Amino acid sequence: MSPQTENAIMSRNLAKHTLNGSIVDRRRAMQFALGALAAARFVLLPSGDGVTAQTASGDGDDGTMATGDIVGAGISFSRNARIEMSQSVGHRTAGGADVNGQTRFQAASISKTVNSCAVLMLADVGRLELDRPVNAQLRRWQVPGPFGDTVTPSMLLSHTAGTSVSGFPGYPRDSQVPTLVDILNGAGHVNTMPVVADQSPGQFRYSGGGTSVLQLLVEDVTDQPYASFVQETVFAPLGMTRSTYQAPDRPVTNAANGHYRDRRAVEGGFRLYPELAAAGLWTTPADLCRMSDGILRSLRGHADAVLSRETALRMTSPVVGPSALGIFVSDDGVLFHAGFNAGFVSLLLADPASMTSVAIMVNSEADPNVLAGLFDGVRAPFPFRM
């Protein structure tokens, strides 16, 4: 089966599970994301080169997960900014070395939550303005289209700017990777259309293209490469020592290969995503928990938090439906984001009430709609329930 990009899944499910800008109910609004949390319930058993995901009730004909084998996975759980549990199962590549707690996976669209932290940190110190037109703050490029001059950073974070290009398919490892400006222009060897503001702002329209505009904005206002800025201001303060935007240098780096639904490895092991802010993060489940813990601590107003409490509250306040600023929010306040790159699936959940976070990363494609049913009745130390 050819890889499904996260944009189609995210847009389809959010459109289906919201009505007139309001969440119909938590089950349906979060189904697409919580499906990946089935990994918390898996009885993960060795199965040849990979791991068979088996449920207590046996959802597949033979008691195994209907979507097929998972090659490898990692899961971490934190409480009160402390990692309480990390587990790894399976292999980095079919028949290869084992996944361990240091193995990096592609986080896919969870990159957008990290990006939101970076943008909001700049807003906190007055280096950019969330509600000022982004074209007035960009130097190297301007958002085109009939609504380009009305687009603001806050709209781009909440997917309400009306910008195009929902997601990115990535590039083969041996291909010429385009520049960020070329990606925004849809020029040269780019495999996506130009990013334009061709829809009136205010409606939900999932847009990785809009997130790429923010990547350029960060570079323009800081005069730094995006990866360097995020390393210094997000990863380092939060102790995210296994997080990077640099593609792994095999075989030295402990990183997972992506796999399609039929367990074939993604060509070259993984695809390249120069759209760093939207899809380019390599990280571990534990580091994702550290990032979400930083958000939770900011919400509590801790003195050493990465964001001010006011900014963190705005970040986690829904704008349209469940969409807040770089993250989604259930009707009872659980923060979440899912990610789907070629060969990778990831999920992050955080509960401000209990100060707990859980992150799951899998180096195999899995249909979140199928996995969603496995979450019910989970028996694990996570305070997340449908």
Kindly report the CA angle at 16 between 163 and 67, in degrees rounded to 5?
105
**Could you tell me if residue 17 is left (phi over 0), alpha (psi between -120 and 50 degrees) or otherwise beta?**
alpha
- pLDDT (mean) for 15-20: 34
Q: Could you tell me how many helices (H) and strands (E) the chain has, helices first?
A: 12, 12
- pLDDT (mean) for 126-135: 98
Q: What does pTM read for this prediction? A: 0.83
123 compared with 385, residue with greater pLDDT: 123
Are the CB atoms for 39 and 362 separated by under 8 Å?
yes
Cα gap 319→174, rounded to integer Å: 40
Kindly report the CA angle at 294 between 289 and 296, in degrees rounded to 5?
90
Is the confidence at residue 369, as pLDDT, over 50? no
Could you report how far apart the first and last alpha carbons of the chain are, in Å?
Answer: 30
Whether the ω angle into residue 318 lies within 30 degrees of 0, i.e. cis, is no
Cα gap 364→70, rounded to integer Å: 6
User: What are the percentages of helix, strand and coil residues in the chain, rounded to 5?
Assistant: 30, 20, 50
- Percent of the chain predicted with pLDDT > 70: 76
Helix (H) or strand (E) holding 299, with range, is helix 285-299
pLDDT in tens, 310-356: 999 999 999 999 999 999 998 889 999 989 999 998 889 999 999 99
Cα gap 127→221, rounded to integer Å: 7
Are the CB atoms for 35 and 368 separated by under 8 Å?
yes
Is the confidence at residue 122, as pLDDT, over 60? yes
In this prediction, residue 263 has a pLDDT band, given cuts at 50, 70 and 90, of: confident
Are the CB atoms for 214 and 275 separated by under 8 Å?
no
Mean of the per-residue pLDDT values of the chain: 81
Cα gap 225→274, rounded to integer Å: 12
